[in-house]
Amino acid sequence: MKTCIADGHPTRFWERFRLSCRFGALLLLLVGLGLLSASAQVPEPRRIVQFTGLVVSGDSLTGVPDALVYVPRSNRRTSTNAQGYFSLVVLAGDSILVKSAGYTKRATIPADYRNSTYSTLIQLHQRGETLNGANSPPRNFKQDFIDLRLPNQPSVEVQNELNRAYLRKTLKQLTQERAREADEKREAALRLGRGY
């Protein structure tokens, strides 16, 4: 029998060895489980996706040129070509906005999307923020303009009112200039009097 130096009691060497092996195996098992749970918590990086598509007008399905295609809160953006085609590198799960004059649309790449390319057809529909009649030009603007009868000279009343308005404006400007000049002279005199 061997004596354990730490506690001074006689123990068997092999009993102590088995006990330390069990403790070591349990410790190794706990460390392994901790590493597995830690690696399970690390999120998978989002996939890079080449997002391509055709932006068309919702009513006529013609390509919308120069529409802005971008990912909000990032520097990734592009615009459509003359036929409405675009190509942009995005991440899976990104939300993409497409805007053009009078149009807006949102597209989203699914977060669990696994392919490296994503193609779509985006139909833009006009927003309801237009003014009444702003989208419909006159039937024949050129002819309507020619037919418009405008007087060659303004009437006497209009001319007099314009003259009065001009005189009021000119008088106000002169008064302001004179007040500014007087202030500048007063400041210069004060500076000279104080020895500046």
The domain total for the chain is 3
If you average pLDDT over every residue of the chain, what do you get?
A: 77
Strands annotated E in the chain: 2-3, 10-11, 48-57, 68-70, 77-79, 85-91, 95-100, 103-108, 117-126
- Strands 117-126 and 48-57, by their bridges, are parallel
pLDDT at 78: 92
Residues 71 and 55: beta-carbon distance below 8 Å: no
Note whether residue 144 is domain-resident: no
* Distance, C-alpha 114 to centroid of its chain: 26
Q: Tell me which residue of 123, 114, 96 sits closest to 49, measured CA to CA.
A: 114
Q: Tell me which residue of 26, 4, 7 sits closest to 15, measured CA to CA.
A: 4
Same domain, 57 and 37: no
pLDDT in tens, 113-132: 888 888 888 888 766 555 55
Lookup result for tokens 């918590």: 41
pTM for this model (two decimals): 0.45
Inform me whether the pLDDT recorded for 11 exceeds 70.
no
Residue of higher predicted confidence among 180 and 3: 180
Lookup result for tokens 């977060």: 111
Same domain, 87 and 155: no
Where residue 81 sits, what CATH number does that domain have?
2.60.40.1120
In angstroms, rounded to a whole number, what is the distance separating the alpha carbons of residues 175 and 181? 10
Note whether residue 106 is domain-resident: yes
Same domain, 52 and 35: no
Same domain, 36 and 56: no
Same domain, 32 and 76: no
Note whether residue 134 is domain-resident: no
Segments forming the whole domain that contains residue 168? 151-196
pLDDT in tens, 17-68: 666 767 777 767 777 777 666 555 556 777 888 999 999 887 778 888 999 9
Same domain, 53 and 75: yes
Note whether residue 115 is domain-resident: yes
Note whether residue 136 is domain-resident: no
Same domain, 53 and 37: no
Note whether residue 133 is domain-resident: no
